[in-house]
Structure 1
Amino acid sequence: MHTGLVHQLDFDRDGKTIDFLSIPFSIDRSPYYQVKVPICLVRNGDGPSVLLMAGNHGDEYEGELSLARLIRRLEPGRIRGRVTILPMANAPAVMAAKRCSPLDGGNLNRAFPGDPTGTPTWRLAHFLESELFPRHDIVFDIHSGGTSMEHLATALIERNGDPDRHEQALQLMRSLGMPYGFIAENGPAAPTSMGAARRAGAIGVSGEFGGGGTATVDSMALTARAIDSLLVAANIMDGPVLGPAKPPEGPMQLLSLARHSQGIYATRRGWYEPAVRLGARVAVGDLAGWYHDLERLEAPEEPLLFAEGGIVISRRLHTHCEAGDCLIQVAEPVGN
């Protein structure tokens, strides 16, 4: 009664079900408290099975809003097979508008494979990897840069050691209609949702759809197109639900982000001023920005130079920085 995760879902029942995953967790104001994680099942007979999730980090809103809208719009008659929707996977983090859960400090995307006797974030991660992900052919986890980061709109997969499975993931990633995509080299023991999906036998697809702790017209349109496109590519739907069908503007450019030298990191307290925009092509030695020290006004700002060339993929939005903060990253274009 005091451990694990409980639910009353019937994954094989046709129709539409909206319910909760419940995680018991005693707190000061409520000794029998349960963390409630909303979940929606939409099923129409046998067929492909896709899990859509957002709110892995609580301050990344494009996926949360889009999947909430999908829950309201998607009816069983529109699909073949099953769509499972987790619009705010780390629900405590979503409600607190934070990256990590305020209950246990848990970063869900670093908690896999989880622990069934741990605190809520680790119990949820264990349930996802051991029980929910294995029920699905595809897991699509929607991210953005969150409150502190601006991120280039980029699809993501993690490298799969099985060449056939890796090619399937690559084709699904291309189907999203995103301008950029990259393959993460996180290894078989990755604590991420994509690592968990791979270990569970599902094909994992993810992406970064915006940032800044907000949602924009462009980021929401891109997210809607990606969700619709994935469900069509998975042969679950025959047309879009969230938005009008709109082809991508061009082929996806693949990127590689595999070395720490592709980022610039703060080594002390300071204030960061960028010199380039997301998507800019830069060369080794180009100016990335300046680092100011407002506690020593007589000291000139320090120019920051790129150690590697490529395309600027992300940057820190918060000007005030501490040692260890990633200020900017540049990804290497690779062959398609």
Structure 2
Amino acid sequence: MSQTPIRTKIDFDKPGTQWGTLNIPFSYNLSGWSQLQIPISTIAHGEGPTVLLMAGNHGDEYPGQIAIMKLMQSLKLEQISGRIIFIPAINIPAAKAATRLSPIDGKNLNRCFPGDADGTVSEIMAHYLTHEIFPLVEVVIDLHTGGRGVYFYPCAHMHLVENLEQRRRMALATEAYNTDFAFLYADIAGKGLLPVEAENMGKTVVTTEMGGGEVTTAPVHQVSQAGLRNVLVHLKVLQGEEKCRTDLGLPPTRWVQALNAEDYIFAPESGLFESFVDVGSEVSEGQPLGALYFLERPDRKPSIIEANSNGIAIAHRGPTLTSQGDIVFCLAHDVEEQVLKTFQ
């Protein structure tokens, strides 16, 4: 196996607070000795778990990036029991370009795992996380939104892993985000996911989908930031009193899932998409969810998108301009009681 070309001055075994960069050799401008520099920070103090906290896996997903930057600037060393590794924008070229994919190599970092030390920039980063960072940590927190393409009801989510002890740890950490919905999702778009690589190594993996689109409202920022702190308190790496939803005067988190391919509804043709229902709404089988209109045929009746089952609209298309094959709705369903019992 090739050794990573990434270099950093961060000493992951050193206590205290460190700020630095992950440096990837890459000639992307006029200099042959250029580097792509990814900011990274660590805070280590006392005994406790090691948590990897990152966002910007997809560049156009910003609430998590802001939440991590605010958190890393505000924490004091004595508040930590263990170690936190902060990478607020793991795909910084995409974050700067407001794109989902890396503008350097055109790749989706979230589909590059376990990576390749001799590959492209995204593959090198995936390899580094897999072989250098994941072995150091017990917990991986990877913060997402739907980006510019999809709008999610803000939620924490996870995979339904087979190992029941790992599943329980993940479910309790997911609930600690205190979102209205906790979402179990399936991999319908291929392999190579970052969360799956970490799950396969036995890590407690917590991910989010905090809205999406160009606009992030104040409430979404608030739930993203407050939830993140509460998860770290739950994990006992950050001092404080864990808050559950009843402490906040809220009903319990509702667990929903979209584990079948039929739960994901795609545009049958290109057009302008109008949503008829908001995310978080209950829908019935056969109910019209939205319509596609046709710029070049304004005389043509719109194509109606219908629900193929009862469920909850957990996500829908973000931009109005829609291409054939774009997802227009994801319908989630309540998690069965026997599955919920495995979370306790």
**TM-score greater than 0.5 by the shorter chain:** yes
Written as runs of structure 1 = structure 2, the 5 A alignment for 1:309-320 is 309-320=310-321
| Unpaired runs of at least 5, structure 1 | none
**Shift of the alpha carbon at 1:95?**
1.0
Partner in structure 2 of residue 104 of structure 1: 105
Pairing 1:136–2:152 present: no
Residues 152, 211 of structure 2: 8 Å contact kept: yes
Partner in structure 2 of residue 322 of structure 1: 323
Pairing 1:21–2:22 present: yes
Partner in structure 2 of residue 183 of structure 1: 184
Partner in structure 2 of residue 261 of structure 1: 262
**Shift of the alpha carbon at 1:246?**
6.7
SS at match of 1:41: strand
SS at match of 1:166: helix
Partner in structure 2 of residue 218 of structure 1: 219
The runs of at least 4 aligned residues of structure 1 exceeding 6 Å deviation read none
Aligned residues: 332
**Shift of the alpha carbon at 1:28?**
4.4
Distance (whole Å) between structure 1 residues aligned to residue 223 and residue 213 of structure 2: 16
Written as runs of structure 1 = structure 2, the 5 A alignment for 1:226-237 is 226-237=227-238
Distance (whole Å) between structure 1 residues aligned to residue 27 and residue 51 of structure 2: 33
Report the residue type matching 1:168 in the other structure.
R
Partner in structure 1 of residue 34 of structure 2: 33
Residues 228, 239 of structure 1: 8 Å contact kept: no
Partner in structure 1 of residue 92 of structure 2: 91
Pairing 1:334–2:335 present: yes
Query: RMSD in angstroms over aligned alpha carbons?
Result: 2.1
Distance (whole Å) between structure 2 residues aligned to residue 53 and residue 250 of structure 1: 29
Residues 166, 202 of structure 2: 8 Å contact kept: no
Could you list the per-position Cα deviations for residues 263-288 of structure 1 after superposition, in whole angstroms to 9, with x for gaps in the alignment? 22122221111111111100110011
SS at match of 2:68: helix
Distance (whole Å) between structure 1 residues aligned to residue 227 and residue 107 of structure 2: 28
Report the residue type matching 2:181 in the other structure.
Y
TM-score by length of 2: 0.91
**Shift of the alpha carbon at 1:186?**
3.9
Could you list the per-position Cα deviations for residues 94-123 of structure 1 after superposition, in whole angstroms to 9, with x for gaps in the alignment? 111111110001211111111111111110
Residues 145, 213 of structure 1: 8 Å contact kept: no
**Shift of the alpha carbon at 1:196?**
1.7
SS at match of 1:127: helix
| Unpaired runs of at least 5, structure 2 | none
Residues 148, 316 of structure 1: 8 Å contact kept: yes
TM-score by length of 1: 0.93
**Shift of the alpha carbon at 1:191?**
1.6
SS at match of 1:18: strand
Distance (whole Å) between structure 1 residues aligned to residue 263 and residue 132 of structure 2: 37
Q: Percent identity over the alignment?
A: 31
SS at match of 2:166: helix
